[in-house]
Amino acid sequence: MSTIEEIRSRFQHDHFATDTTGIVIDSAEPGKAVCSLNLEERHMNENRVPMGGAVFTLADFACAIAANGCSERKTVSQNASITFLAPAKGKRLIAEAVCLREGHTTALLTADIKDELGTYVAHATVNGYVIS
């Protein structure tokens, strides 16, 4: 099983999620991952709440870690949807992703995004396609 340092190293080239957006991989185990994002001015929209794209990127990246972090298989997003439930009230978003089903060619993952105050911000569903 890969250590968290090995997983972070493997995903260091996912520059949009890690460098541009600032997402951190907090934990990973087979089929599960927790990633977080400290909210900054650059993540906010005109309404002073996190931009939907920032929340979606966090959900998508957490699902990528859940699908690929501890596996030699390569799974990519085939379809994704997100439901925004409430604006974040805190200063940090946390995404908990779980692989619900992993088949030979497809996978189904979900991610729940909350802030550190417990506000349930969004729920995402990702259908993955196994490319190797």
pLDDT grade, residue 1 (50/70/90)? low
For residue 9, give its domain range.
4-130
Of the candidate ranges 45-49, 54-58, 71-75, 118-122, the one whose mean pLDDT is the lowest: 71-75
pLDDT grade, residue 72 (50/70/90)? confident
- As a whole number of angstroms, the distance between CA 93 and CA 101 comes to 25
Q: What is the rounded average pLDDT for all residues in the chain? A: 96
Kindly state the percentage of the chain with pLDDT values over 70.
Answer: 99
Residue 132 has a pLDDT of 85
pLDDT grade, residue 82 (50/70/90)? very high
CATH number of the domain at 77, please. 3.10.129.10
Q: What's the whole-number mean pLDDT along residues 25-43? A: 97
The dihedral formed by the CA atoms of 63, 61, 111 and 1, expressed in degrees to the nearest 10: 40
Which string of b and e fits 46-68 if b means at least 16 CB within 10 Å?
eeebbeeebbbbbbbbbbbbbbb
Number of domains into which the chain is organized: 1
